[in-house]
Chains A and B, each alone.
Chain A
């Protein structure tokens, strides 16, 4: 029987397989646990948590688009206190690998969140969401500028201490994603998460008004996959040794393989879980079959394969 070493690494941390959930698409895990054992995931990436409880945006928050959807949730969440009290203990109890995603409105808030996480055991990494498009002010998207990106990452690094790998989540809505990646790599991140949603809009031609209450929203799903593949390819080419958690429209093993060949060390499943709660397990099984079919014995040999010999 052919065997595959399916494990992967982000910084100092090892994961049994490269299939993760995407932040904001698996809530805090309990909802999906009815459908498959969360321990079968490489890791669960939790919904971006902020310092305080947050109501989020008004409805409608969602519009389906061809092969995709727009969302404008506005980072609704319970705040770090309730999150550390309820959600993390449950996940740790279930022995699930957890990557905590954090988001702030100011550089200081990222520092505060990192300090809170430093003492928490059972976490495998922190994903720093500097790219949420659903904020009132576009100027607040830290990942749109190298200097603001660096300021956030430095605040996280100063406060988190120890071994916890730091992953910076970037936005594809920039002129040059390699330039942003370079700034956070130089600031010392252990990995990059690519890509967050793209800013979009749908206008209802009957009401003749934007369909979302927040007017604009983040586009996700299969429609954005080529953008993800391009972003991962460009960044991996520039920084072949920085692990990338790839995401954007992955719903099958074939899609995951595409991101891995471009340079992803792990793949997060987002919108696909809305259509199929078992999507992550489907991708995991299909991907391992595809890798074995192609003669890979170690998953990590496939990472960035599309760059070889070019």
Chain B
């Protein structure tokens, strides 16, 4: 058996911030990364060191790649959409153009693309929608129909850049407070939309609760569902075992690393029910 090379395209570089713009509650940041951009696929992530070498934050932060541009005016670049909600992301959002950050990427699995053209639904929660736009473009170029559904607690938190919408056949918004689009949780709108668009494959990205609800729906409709999961990561490169999710394995359970075997995973393999996980761990 030839084991597949883990982290096979990953490199550690000092990346220059070439743009940092506020986008509602989010920051859109662009980093010059050279050749790394050519190896980045929709779904991959990068891990960025926080603070200087004397920082009390000793762990990296993982960010899904919003877009990778192979040959731009500044060479290869990678774009991220960041919500400054913790100390690490706040530090990153306050970097100014010309500063450098220590960045490792591309890491993790990418979204798998169907071999024949299919009706795809892309579902994003909050800033979790970021990696879906590059995927939409890829799917559209392969001849797929792309229906995008974006949800958030309130209108301002939906991330839907103008240029990102070019590749989608339809865009549906949902908000928990009714301030935009359909009033309610994103998952409530999905069954009707699946019927309407004759969806054959679902791609999702966002908080675990949302992914879990969509996984249930995809199972009921018996359609394939790839999701990008969020579990806190200490290393991002597979050496610490902190970032695991439980998957079905033989008659029981197995913990797999979301930084190596994810973040994009087959939702049908994951054990979403917390109680089932606890029971299996103690059996």
Interface residues, chain A, with chain B CB atoms under 8 Å away: 24-27, 30-32, 34-35, 47, 55-62, 64, 66-69, 71, 73, 76, 86, 90, 221-222, 251-252, 271-278
Contacts and interface: CB of A to CB of B under 8 A. Distances in A.
B281 A68 contact: no
Interface stretch (B6-14, B140-148, B211-219): B6-14
B5 A69 contact: no
Given A34-B5, A55-B255, A26 B239 contact: yes
Nearest to A217: B242
A60 B240 contact: no
A114 B12 CA distance: 38
Contacts of B160: none
Nearest to A136: B282
A59 B281 contact: no
B167 to A, nearest CB: 32
B56 A31 contact: no
Contact of B58 (A25, A57, A60, A221): A221
Contacts of B12: 35, 276-278
- 8 residue pairs, one from A and one from B, having the closest CB atoms: A62-B242, A274-B235, A31-B238, A34-B7, A61-B242, A27-B239, A67-B56, A274-B234
A270 to B, nearest CB: 10
A31 B241 contact: no
Given A34-B8, A59-B231, A27 B59 contact: no
B239 A86 contact: no
Contacts of B246: 58
B244 A69 contact: no
B60 A274 contact: yes
A78 to B, nearest CB: 10
**Interface of chain A: mostly helix, strand, loop or mixed:** loop
B90 interface: no
Contacts of B49: 275-276
A61 B244 contact: yes
B245 interface: yes
Contacts of B278: 58
A76 B241 contact: yes
Contact of B239 (A222, A251, A252, A273): A273
Nearest to A66: B56
Interface in B100-157: 102, 104
Nearest to A278: B12
B57 interface: yes
Interface of B: 3, 5-8, 10, 12, 49, 53, 56-60, 102, 104, 231-235, 237-246, 252-255, 260, 277-278, 280-281
Counting chain A CB atoms within 10 Å of each CB, the highest count among B5, B7, B240, B260 belongs to B240
A147 to B, nearest CB: 30
Nearest to A211: B232
A71 B58 contact: no
Nearest to B49: A275
Contacts of B56: 66-67
A62 B60 CA distance: 13
A133 to B, nearest CB: 15
Given A69-B234, A86-B3, A57 B104 contact: no
B81 to A, nearest CB: 22
A251 B53 CA distance: 9
A90 B237 CA distance: 19
B244 A56 contact: yes
8 contacts: A24-B240, A30-B5, A31-B7, A31-B260, A58-B277, A71-B242, A76-B241, A222-B58
A59 B234 contact: no
A64 B51 CA distance: 14
Contacts of A58: 246, 277-278, 281
A178 to B, nearest CB: 30
B239 A31 contact: yes
Contacts of B57: 64
A275 to B, nearest CB: 5
Contacts of A271: 58
Nearest to B233: A62
Given A60-B232, A276-B49, A69 B239 contact: no
A66 B54 CA distance: 12
A30 B57 CA distance: 26
